[in-house]
């Protein structure tokens, strides 16, 4: 059942993508610092979306790595506290 739902979702996304590119087929001039291109508007928007998706994924991976590093450090500190609590207190009086 879930497989058919995902397949229907893919078909709907493809239909909307085809409709979007059919409605935005005009060519737009894209000026970069070193060159300029005449590309369809739908292609430029898809490229910008893909680039934003990649940047967001990269930021997610970096944050995940930072969180895992902090969790590891927290576990080490908890173990150190446990070890310090286990040491008997020596009274010199």
Q: What is the pLDDT of residues 7-50, one digit of tens each?
A: 999 899 889 888 888 888 889 998 988 999 999 888 888 889 89
Task: Answer for the pair 40, 25: CB distance below 8 angstroms, yes or no.
Answer: yes
Cα(47)–Cα(64) distance, integer angstroms: 25
The structure's pTM equals: 0.62
Mean pLDDT, range 81-90, rounded to an integer: 86
For residue 32, the model assigns a pLDDT of 87
Mean pLDDT, range 65-78, rounded to an integer: 95
For residue 5, the model assigns a pLDDT of 92
Task: Answer for the pair 34, 16: CB distance below 8 angstroms, yes or no.
Answer: no
Cα(84)–Cα(76) distance, integer angstroms: 12
Q: Domain locations in the chain?
A: 2-86
């Amino acid at each position: 059942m879930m497989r058919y739902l995902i397949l229907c979702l893919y078909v709907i996304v493809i239909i909307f993508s085809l409709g979007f590119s059919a409605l935005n087929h005009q060519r737009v001039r894209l000026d970069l610092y070193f060159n300029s291109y005449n590309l369809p508007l739908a292609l430029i928007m898809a490229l910008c979306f893909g680039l934003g998706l990649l940047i967001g994924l990269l930021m997610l991976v970096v944050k995940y790595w930072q969180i895992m590093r902090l969790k590891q450090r927290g576990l080490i500190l908890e173990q150190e506290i446990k070890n310090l609590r286990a040491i008997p207190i020596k009274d010199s009086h």
